Amino acid sequence: MPPLVPLPAQVRTTDGSLPLDGLRVVAGPSAEEQRLATVARDLLGPAGETSGGPALVLTLDDAAGPDDATSPERYTVEVAPAGATVTAPTTEGLFRGLTTLAQLATTDGEGRTVLPAVVVQDAPRYAWRGLSLDVARHFFEPDVVERVIDEMARYKLSVLHLHLTDDQGWRLELPSRPLLTEISGKGEIGDGVGGFYTMDEFRRLQEYAAERYVQVVPEFDMPGHTNAATHAYGELVPGGEPTDRFGGEEVGFSKLSFDLPGTEPFLRDVFGDMAAATLGEYVHIGGDEVFTLGAEEYSRFVLLAHEVVTAAGKKVVGWQEIAEAELPAGTVVQYWETRKDTEPLRRAVDGGAKILLSPADRVYLDMKYDADDVRGQDWGASMPPVELRDSYDWEPDAAVEGVDGDAVVGVEAAIWSERIPDEDTLFMRLLPRLAASAEVAWTPADARSWDDFASRVSRESAGWRERGLTFHASPGVDWA
């Protein structure tokens, strides 16, 4: 049987196979079920609408998935020589099942494309299975982001977190503050031209992701990492003069201060516009690496951003540092800095916050693969390289000492783009580690093992080559 990534909860092989040539696709009457029938035909190639013969039937059924599963993404795939079914309680579950079916397709001894006879019952460990993509340090056009989304969908990831602002650039146009992109949409690290997404492009990106059951979570990173904002609007700077454009890699030097009368209106405008433009549930308010604000002023920022976002009907996510403030219950705190004291996280959880796991020493995918990797990010002696096995061999429940697994909403890999100027470099850093992070987030802990994963992920490289994607041939894997 072809290897599956991420590994499903339960797989049982049976005898025989089902040829795809002439396979009919049958689905329910709703518009989304019919769209998924088209998705199935696209994913499976030879499958089509021919009359007679075996069929692939897509069915909504609450009984699908493992017996103890409650996730709306749970599904069952059954393939036999007489036909195949994908059942799930939701169309999202049907889509997850179809991605499994697509991975199962193989070529038999007669050169036919077939599905092996199998029964798969599956459900995710976490609902939040994400990737954070930095488009601020280096900008990536919508078509590149769409290709990232395609790979995310293949590996059953559910959240694309877009880091839209930083010191080097502002990447989303806003009706209330047009200078942010007119001025700070230009440029990036080094001498690149930069760019930004129009509101229409941002909406289309979200729709493209939603069709693949990926939710987009936009981030404006404040009150630090704000030179792009102060470069566009001098009212955010003491003295009223805009700051110079910044194209370096340093962090921690910029800030917004409530001592200035223009700061609060600016924050209300930008977070209000972003929340209004967001189709999903969440908005990310940033909050990391603010080295020049006092605790009281920092907390004021967190609570104001929280107020604006929740007033627009969205839920709040922020980086680990926001746990220093008194957070309202339900806030999602994104853990990343493994070298810091985690007591604020424990206090936040005691107050009703949830934790999203992005430990830098495991899932920061811009990090060096090894000591000889000259293009990867390097934090010095305090942060070793992150190889494929590092991204795979860790247990989320044990990631934050003193935080119970019930408080964890999921796992999110992150890729920062200081040293990623183009698409080839982007995918070289994403792959294969993104597949490892996806399996950590999806597969039951007791079903995972490095040796088994290495044998399965090795076969993914053929598909990456076919799709024109670069990847790193990590050691310990016999790459196909």
Q: What percent of the chain has pLDDT over 90?
A: 94
One domain for residues 99 and 240: no
Nearest Cα neighbor of 336 from 326, 325, 349, 323 is: 323
Residue 377: predicted pLDDT: 95
One domain for residues 116 and 255: no
Domain membership of residue 480 (yes or no) is no
Helix, strand, or coil here: 247? coil
Question: Rounded distance, CA 334 to CA 109, Å?
Answer: 49
**Known catalytic residue: 289?**
yes
User: What sign has the CA pseudo-torsion 442, 445, 447, 452?
Assistant: positive
Residue 210 pLDDT > 80, yes or no? yes
Which H or E element spans position 142? helix 142-154
Q: What is the mean predicted confidence (pLDDT) over 457-478?
A: 97
Domain of 403, in residue numbers: 128-453
Question: Strand ranges (DSSP E) for 351-456?
Answer: 354-357, 408-415
Residue 87 pLDDT > 90, yes or no? yes
One domain for residues 203 and 240: yes
Cβ count near 276 (within 10 Å)? 14
Residue-wise pLDDT tens digits, 12-67: 999 999 999 989 999 999 999 999 999 999 998 866 666 677 999 999 999 999 99
One domain for residues 86 and 111: yes
Domain membership of residue 383 (yes or no) is yes
Residue 109: predicted pLDDT: 87
Paired strand residues for 114: 19, 106
Catalytic entry in 211, 264, 289, 307: 289
Paired strand residues for 412: 130
One domain for residues 75 and 142: no
Helix, strand, or coil here: 410? strand
One domain for residues 337 and 288: yes
One domain for residues 187 and 100: no
One domain for residues 373 and 355: yes
One domain for residues 298 and 173: yes
Question: Rounded distance, CA 445 to CA 395, Å?
Answer: 7
Domain finish residue from 77, 104, 122: 122
Average pLDDT, the chain: 97
Count up the domains in the chain and report the number.
2
- In angstroms, the first-to-last Cα distance of the chain is 16
Domain finish residue from 90, 122, 154: 122
Residue 215 pLDDT > 80, yes or no? yes
Q: What CATH number does the domain containing 159 carry?
A: 3.20.20.80
Please provide the DSSP assignment of 110-134 as one string: TS-EEEEEEEEEE--S-SEEEEEEE
Residue 475: predicted pLDDT: 97
Residue 84 pLDDT > 90, yes or no? yes
Domain finish residue from 95, 122, 149: 122
Residue 50: predicted pLDDT: 60
Residue-wise pLDDT tens digits, 314-370: 999 999 999 999 999 999 999 999 999 999 999 999 999 999 999 999 999 999 999
Paired strand residues for 118: 13, 79
One domain for residues 118 and 142: no
